[in-house]
């Protein structure tokens, strides 16, 4: 049994310290649905989808901008994985993690919906494909910009991820607007960078989850 201050919570027991402070038992470690780190699922789901999208932007294996090639991964792994991780984060009370994973669940699923709609001419989008993509990208530039600013009190690794996502979206927008494969490839490079930072963050979470020490993620920009 651990002696902690009564104001810190726990179940009270009889007996006191020599100073007259009541002894209380520390709350038990969470188990089952209330235990664990949602990043252990959410980060790999995000990383795998990001690398898949980056490769389509760069033109590896498929022509540049062949977004449909990555949809099976984006829908079955990234979208579904982030949705489960969001629910997990809500259950364990990690509101910030739940918000980020939930928002990116929306990003990946809406991206898949846009690609499918354009490929199959759903919602009469076929004649306004470029405008529809630009609208999508501008809306998410605003959303990711908001998230970037919200991470300034977090370790700088998280801010770096969102910054490179923002840069990738900017170059995708430029590439779509000007039909420039060079801009799309630049966006793919930025996507590889933010996915790689995500890998580093995941290794830190995995180290803690397996009994090791966390990896340094850098000091927050704003304290």
pLDDT digits (tens, 9 = 90+) for 182-214: 999 999 999 999 999 999 999 999 999 999 999
How far apart CA 108 and CA 49 sit, in angstroms, is: 8
* Residue 129, CA distances (Å) to 29, 58, 119, 124, 134 in order: 52, 21, 9, 10, 9
Look at residue 30 and tell me if it is in a domain.
Answer: no
Residue 78 within a domain: yes
- The answer to the question of residue 21 being in a domain is no
* 104 three-class SS: helix
Question: Is 94 among the domain residues?
Answer: yes
182 found inside a domain: yes
11 lies in some domain? no
Tokens of 54: 């980056």
Domain membership flag for residue 20: no
Range of the domain at 73: 37-209
In the prediction, which pLDDT does 24 show?
A: 47
Structural domains counted in the chain: 1
Q: State the pLDDT at residue 68.
A: 83
Cα separation of 213 and 210, whole Å?
Answer: 9
Q: What gap in Å lies between CA 87 and CA 45, rounded to an integer?
A: 14
pLDDT tops 50 at residue 89: yes
For residue 122, what pLDDT is reported?
Answer: 74
- Residue 125 in contact with residue 118, Cβ under 8 Å? yes
Is residue 123 included in any domain, yes or no?
A: yes
């Amino acid at each position: 049994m651990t002696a902690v201050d009564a104001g810190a919570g726990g179940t009270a027991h009889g007996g006191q310290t020599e100073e007259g402070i009541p002894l209380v038992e520390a709350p038990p470690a969470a188990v089952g649905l209330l235990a664990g780190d949602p990043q252990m699922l959410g980060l790999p789901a995000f990383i795998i989808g990001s690398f898949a999208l980056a490769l389509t932007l760069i033109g590896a294996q498929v022509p540049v901008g062949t977004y449909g090639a990555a949809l099976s991964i984006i829908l079955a792994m990234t979208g579904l994985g982030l949705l489960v991780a969001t629910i997990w984060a809500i259950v364990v009370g990690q509101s910030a993690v739940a918000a980020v994973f939930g928002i990116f669940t929306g990003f990946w699923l809406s991206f898949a919906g846009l690609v499918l709609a354009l490929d199959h001419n759903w919602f009469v989008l076929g004649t306004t494909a470029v405008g529809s993509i630009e609208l999508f990208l501008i809306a998410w530039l605003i959303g990711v910009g908001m998230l970037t600013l919200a991470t300034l009190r977090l370790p700088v690794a998280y801010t770096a991820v969102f910054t490179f996502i923002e840069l990738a979206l900017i170059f995708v927008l430029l590439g779509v607007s000007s039909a420039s494969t060079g801009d799309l490839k630049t966006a793919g490079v930025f996507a590889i960078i933010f996915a790689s930072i995500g890998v580093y963050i995941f290794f830190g979470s995995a180290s803690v989850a397996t009994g090791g020490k966390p990896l340094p993620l850098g000091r927050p920009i704003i304290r």
